[in-house]
Structure 1
Amino acid sequence: MTRRGKSPYPSFSIRLIAFSAVSLLLSACTNLGYYVHVTHGEGELLLHRRAIDKVLHDPATPPALAARLELSQRARRFASQALGLPDNRSYTYYVDLHRPFVVWNVFATPRFSVQAVPHCFPFAGCVAYRGWFSEARADADAARQRARGDDVYVGGVPAYSTLGWFADPILSSMLRWDNDELASTIFHELAHQLIYAKGDTAFNESFATFVQREGLREWRASRGLPPTDGKAQAMDEGFTRLVLDLRDRLKKLYASGEDVEAMEAGKQREIAAFRQRYAAWREAHWPGDHRYDAWVAKPINNARLLPFGLYDQWTPAFAELFRQSDRKWPAFYGRVRALAHESKAQRDETLQAMVAAVPTG
């Protein structure tokens, strides 16, 4: 969920990287039924979208909806004019979904592994989930994987990107967010359209998250608003560290060579210990703030841990790269684009050096 509890993950808004019909058609990893489903789902969005200019001039449009859509268009123009993001038809259309999420992502891992069961596509590479436009189909997919013995988790997704294959619309599910989240999501998704490294989720999401955060800072300043206080982000980051610590502990357990019974018992002990650490952390640092309690109380398995860390692993590196680029977006994008063309090993080495170069104190 977002930090306001509107999506299934606490520290960020998970955005599905949806794939075009062309990608799916060429993919040996995708069966025909899934191809038909995704093509139909994307087609439904295209069929029901309305140009936002027309929605704004429609007397039947509720004033509250018109105000949110008008703000989205100001943010859209700011994205291109001030942040150097693609100037195209994306986010100039609106779709009323009549459902809470646009897609549902299915994450799966083996029972004793924290590595995702991957899904691969020719142009986008491999990702840790498969997205469905139908909750029922997502649940059925999850049931099939669960029957094979995998740990599985299904999470609803309010926004997604087709990486520029289609003109992505503003979705009614996105309007459940506040103004900052709505604007910054547009920045995030357009950043994916600008630069994308095939098969490197941590790089892609960290880059888009940095653009989202810095873009939001500049957007608020342009409107005469003060910077955000940073409390929510700090709590998000602290909670993410707790979850990543649990994932590391489980990874060590699974590599220990114990038998199945001992492994399962150890898994449950680690999860119980995580809940205790969480309660102590919350009371010590965030007394009275219970925004993550519901997530922690629900059943935890390997698959629920997968999204954590993907969205901000390299954000300190991108912040340093932006500083070294004199905070100029064209120079920054040029350096990021060069990184995207490197091998993943070279890219990770460069990003790690950037993290080490971040000034301290």
Structure 2
Amino acid sequence: MSYPGRRLPQRLNRLIALAAVGLLLSACGGLGYYAHVAHGQGELLFNQRAVERVIADPATKPALAGRLELAQQARRFASLRLGLPDNRSYTRYVALDRPYVVWNVFATPRYSVDAVRHCFPVAGCVAYRGYFDEARARGEAARLKADGDDVYVGGVSAYSTLGWFADPILSSMLRWDDDELAGTIFHELAHQLVYVRDDSAFNESFASFVQEQGLKEWRASRKLPPLLGHEQAEEDGFTQLVLELRDRLRQAYAKGGDEATLEAAKQAEIAAFRERYRQWRDTNWPDHHRYDAWVAAPINNARLLPFGLYDQWKPAFAALFRQAEGQWPLFYADVRRLAKLSKDERDRELRRLAAEVPAGPA
């Protein structure tokens, strides 16, 4: 999900597609969908090549060889320094014939900000449905729209099978800069380490914290300067604006009314959001137009769904990391303890952690 020149929030380009094993074990979406997903995952497995062989191949362009070598360095760092799984994931490469590996279809009722959810045996329930073919994704989106839902289709450059398969490096991942490539490997391996069914906020916040803290340590190990914080601050500010819009829409829909009343309230809130965005940008980032295209494009409920998924509990995980004195094994033990709690107990503990220790650099 991008536009020329700059990416939208990096987290939105890396939405975890439905874990492939869950899809392969579930025909709940119909035989055609089952066959499509089985074929798509099978193609990735069939077309993988060992990274070292790709690098050594005389036909491989130096630029590709260099990116793959960097990815292998990050892969080794992930296991040796961050304590992430040491397996065959990200040691093989797949050259795709398309810009994304998967397209996710998000849907909500026309006057609701709650997702139409899809449930699978291993991955649990998630707010989207993944397709290896863009035309199929857009066909499903058209069907849902015809039924009256708000829909959004977003391209995905990488996804995790939660350790059931050896996830490869994909050519779609190599469009990113070095930090995002390394960070994505850390993020996806974190999903293999700890994953809780039906708790996307926990899973994504955990993996995002591992990605960001791991990237700090990765850059330090390479004697690179710390990342500047202004881009993250801008991204966080924009995300907060979108979450505020979602909350305002939820309140507007809760008031009820006929369709004309609800539609008028919906469009009024979207127009007000665009004005708030303009004021925020001009006050804080007058020379930046990173999100202008996103804001100018049509906005509906489904388009808001990805926002906030990766952030909710990051302060809590930062607090947990501090309590572990920066020791990854101790941190992971605490995360596993949280994962074993009920959803209500886990959320209470995460709220306590977030409140007791101020968010900030770990």
Which TM bucket (shorter chain)? Answer: over 0.9
Determine the structure 2 residue equivalent to 1:15.
15
Residue in 2 that maps onto 1:344: 343
On the 8 A contact 1:3/1:236 being kept in 2, the answer is no
Which deviations, in whole Å up to 9, do the C-alpha atoms of 1:249-299 show, x marking residues without a partner? 000001002221111001000000100000000000001100100000000
Equivalent residue runs for 1:118-133 within 5 Å: 118-133=117-132
Contact 1:8 1:155 in 2 (8 A): no
Cα offsets for 1:150-184 (capped at 9, x unmatched): 00000101110000111100000100000000000
Instruction: Structure 2: state its 5+ residue gaps.
Output: none
Report SS of the residue matched to 2:325: coil
Task: State the partner residue of 1:152.
Answer: 151
Give the whole-Å Cα distance in 1 for the aligned partners of 2:28 and 2:8.
27
One-letter amino acid matched to 2:347: D
Residue matched to 2:332: 333
User: TM-score by structure 2 length?
Assistant: 0.96
Please give the secondary structure, in 2, of the residue aligned with 1:155.
Answer: strand
Distance 1:338 1:360 in 2: 21
Tell me the equivalent position of 1:98.
97
8 A Cα contact 1:205 1:310, kept in partner: yes
* Counterpart in the other structure of 1:211: 210
Seen in structure 2, the aligned counterparts of structure 1 residues 12 and 5 have a Cα distance that, compared at 3 Å, is: farther
Tell me which amino acid in the other structure corresponds to 2:203.
Answer: N
**How many Å apart are 1:12 and its aligned residue?**
3.8
**Correspondences of 1:31-110 after superposition (within 5 Å):** 31-110=30-109
- Tell me if structure 1 keeps the 8 A contact 2:3–2:293: no
Q: State the one-letter code of the partner of 1:16.
A: I
1:262 aligns with 261
Deviations 1:283-327 (A, max 9, x none): 000011001000000000000000100001100000000000111
Say whether residues 1:174 and 2:173 are aligned partners. yes
1:238 maps to a residue whose letter is G
Question: Unpaired runs of 5+ in structure 1?
Answer: none
The amino acid of 1:42's aligned partner reads Q
Quick one: distance in 2 between partners of 1:271 and 1:114?
13
> Distance in 2 between the 1:248 and 1:332 partners?
33
Deviation for aligned residue 1:27: 3.1
Q: Secondary structure at the match of 1:152?
A: strand
Question: Any idea what the Cα deviations from partners look like across 1:102-133, whole Å, max 9, x if unmatched?
Answer: 00000000000000000000111100000000
| C-alpha distance in 2 between matches for 1:305 and 1:46 | 33
CA gap 1:298/1:216 in 2 versus in 1, 3 angstroms = same
2:249–2:269 CA contact under 8 A, matched in 1: yes
Given residue 170 of structure 1, which amino acid in structure 2 is its aligned partner? I
SS at match of 2:16: strand
3-state DSSP of counterpart to 2:212: helix
For 1:167 and 1:257, locate their aligned partners in 2 and report how far apart those are by CA, in whole Å.
Answer: 48
Alpha-carbon distance in structure 2 between the residues aligned to 1:354 and 1:298 = 38
Q: C-alpha distance in 1, partners of 2:219/2:102?
A: 30
| Contact 1:2–1:12 (Cα < 8 Å) also in 2 | no
Aligned pairs for 1:267-286 (under 5 A) are: 267-286=266-285
Residue 317 of structure 2 aligns with which residue? 318
Check conservation: 1:2, 1:11, Cα contact below 8 A.
no
TM-score, structure 1 as length reference: 0.96
SS at match of 2:152: strand
After TM superposition, the structure 1 = structure 2 runs for residues 293-308 of structure 1, keeping only pairs within 5 Å, are: 293-308=292-307
SS of 1:282's partner is: helix
Number of positions where the alignment pairs a residue of Structure 1 with one of Structure 2? 360
Give the drift of 1:339. Answer: 0.7
More moved, 205-214 vs 9-18: 9-18
Task: Say whether 1:292 aligns with 2:294.
Answer: no
Distance 1:188 1:171, change over 3 A: same
Are the aligned partners of 1:91 and 1:170 in contact in 2 as well (CA < 8 Å)? yes
Query: What secondary structure, in the 3-state scheme, does the structure 1 residue paired with 2:197 have?
Result: coil
CA distance in 2, matches of 1:235, 1:53: 38
Question: Letter of the aligned partner of 1:315 in structure 2?
Answer: K
Q: Is the 8 A contact 1:102 1:159 kept in 2?
A: yes
1:3 & 1:308 partners in 2: Cα distance?
17
Contact 1:275 1:296 in 2 (8 A): yes
Q: Which deviates further from its counterpart, 140-149 or 26-35?
A: 26-35
Cα distance in 1 for partners of 2:262, 2:47 equals 50
Deviation digits for residues 186-210 of structure 1 (CA, Å, limit 9, x no counterpart): 0000000000000100000000000
Identity %, equivalent residues: 67
Q: Which SS does the other structure have where 1:346 is aligned?
A: helix
Q: Match of 1:15, as an amino acid?
A: L
